[in-house]
A and B are shown apart, each in its own frame.
Chain A
Amino acid sequence: MPALDSLLAAIETSRLATTVGQSIALTGWLSALHLIGMTVVTGGTLVSSLRLLGVLLADEPVTVVTRAAVRGVTIGLVVSLSTGFLLVSPRASAAAHAVFFQTKMALLVMAAAFHFAYYRRVAEGRLGSVWGQRLSGGLALVLWLGVAVAGSAYILLE
C-alpha cells in the first residue's frame, strides 16, 4: 500500500522519531513509562474484570470495585498509547510488517473499542445483566492479556 508506506516513512523521518531513535536514555524512559501504563491497564482490567466475573469481592456492589479501576484503565491506556507511538516511530515501517506487532495492534484496537464502547458502561453499572457482566469481564481479560503477550513477543522476538 503506497499511501501507508509513505505515511510510515514520513513518521520515521520526522524530527520526533529521529530524536527518540538517537537517544538511548529517552527510549529507556519512554519504555519504562510504557510499561507503567501497561501495568495500570492490566491491573485495572484484572480488578474490574474479576469483579464482573464474580471472582473478586463478589459481595461488594459492582461499581464500588470497578469504578476507579475502569478509570485507571483509561488513564493507563492514554499513557501506553502515547509512549508506544513515540517508541515505535523510529522503526514504523519495520514494525508495521512484523507479525507480532500486527497482532498486538489488532488486539489493542479490539480491546480499546470494547473498553470505550461497552465495558465502561457495564463496569459503571449503567447496563448489562449478570451474564453480560461476566462475558464482558472475561472478554476484557482475554483481549488485554493478549495485547500484553503480543507486545512482549514483539519486543523480545522481532
Chain B
Amino acid sequence: MTAVQIAEWLESTSVGLWVRESLWGFSIMVAVHILGLTLSVGTLLWFDLRLLGISMTGSQVSKVYRALMPWFAVGFGVMLVSGGVLLAGFATAAFENTFFRLKMAAVCVAAVNALAYHLMTERRIAHWDHAARPPFPVRLAGLVSIAVWATAILSGRMMSYTMF
C-alpha cells in the first residue's frame, strides 16, 4: 500500500469520519492532545533537567525517573491515542504537510534518544546516580530530549496554520 492509500483508508474509517464530521470531535481531540502534551512533556522536562544537573540535584537520578515516569507515560499514551484519532481524520493533508513530517521525525529522534539512554547510558548509572552534575552522555540525553520535544511542539502548532 502506498502512503496515499493508507491515508485514504484511515480517513474512511469510522474514527476518521467522526473527527471530520462531528460538531465537537476535532476540537475535543485537539484539546485532549494538548492537555496530554502538558502532562507528558511537562513532567518529562523535569527528568531531563535532572539529567542536565539543573533540577532536583539532591535526588538520585533513578529515583526522579521512577517518580515521574508514570506521569509522562500516561501523558504520552493520551497523546498517542488522540494524535492517532486526529491523524485518521486528516491523514492525506497531514502526510503532505512538511511540519507533520518534521514532527514525526522529531518524535522518532526522541524515541531513539530514549532507547539509547536506557539501553546504553543507563547501564553505568551506579557511577553517577547521586551526582549533582552527571557525566556528559547523560547530560546530552537530557538536552537532546528537550530539543526534540520543543521541535515537536513547534512543528505541531505550525501544522494547524498550514494544513487547512
Task: Determine if A152 and B59 form an interchain contact, defined as CB atoms under 8 angstroms apart.
Answer: no
A65: interface (CB < 8 Å): yes
Kindly list chain A residues whose C-beta atoms are within 8 Å of the C-beta of B160. Answer: 28
Task: Determine if B39 and A46 form an interchain contact, defined as CB atoms under 8 angstroms apart.
Answer: yes
Q: How far is the CA of A106 from the CA of B156 in the complex (A)?
A: 28
Within 8 A of A (CB), among B31-83: 31, 34-35, 37-39, 41-46, 49, 54-59, 63-64, 67-68, 71
Kindly list chain A residues whose C-beta atoms are within 8 Å of the C-beta of B158. Answer: 28-29, 32
A102: interface (CB < 8 Å): no
**Could you say which of A27, A28, A57, A156 contacts B59, with CB atoms under 8 Å apart?**
A57
0 or 1 for each of B137-164: is its CB under 8 Å from A? (1 = yes): 0000000000000100110111011100
Task: Determine if A57 and B64 form an interchain contact, defined as CB atoms under 8 angstroms apart.
Answer: yes
Task: Determine if B38 and A28 form an interchain contact, defined as CB atoms under 8 angstroms apart.
Answer: no
Within 8 A of B (CB), among A130-158: 148-149, 152-153, 156-157
Q: How far is the CA of A27 from the CA of B156 in the complex (A)?
A: 13
- Shortest C-beta distance, B11 to chain A (Å), equals 21
Instruction: Name the residue of chain B whose CB is nearest to the CB of A71.
Output: B55
Q: How far is the CA of A24 from the CA of B158 in the complex (A)?
A: 9
A35: interface (CB < 8 Å): yes
0 or 1 for each of A50-77: is its CB under 8 Å from B? (1 = yes): 0000001100110011001100100000
- Shortest C-beta distance, B67 to chain A (Å), equals 5
Task: Determine if A68 and B157 form an interchain contact, defined as CB atoms under 8 angstroms apart.
Answer: no
**Which of A1-9, A11-19, A36-44 interfaces with chain B?**
A36-44
**Could you say which of B34, B49, B64 contacts A35, with CB atoms under 8 Å apart?**
B34
Task: Determine if B161 and A152 form an interchain contact, defined as CB atoms under 8 angstroms apart.
Answer: no
Task: Determine if A32 and B157 form an interchain contact, defined as CB atoms under 8 angstroms apart.
Answer: yes
Task: Determine if A149 and B35 form an interchain contact, defined as CB atoms under 8 angstroms apart.
Answer: yes
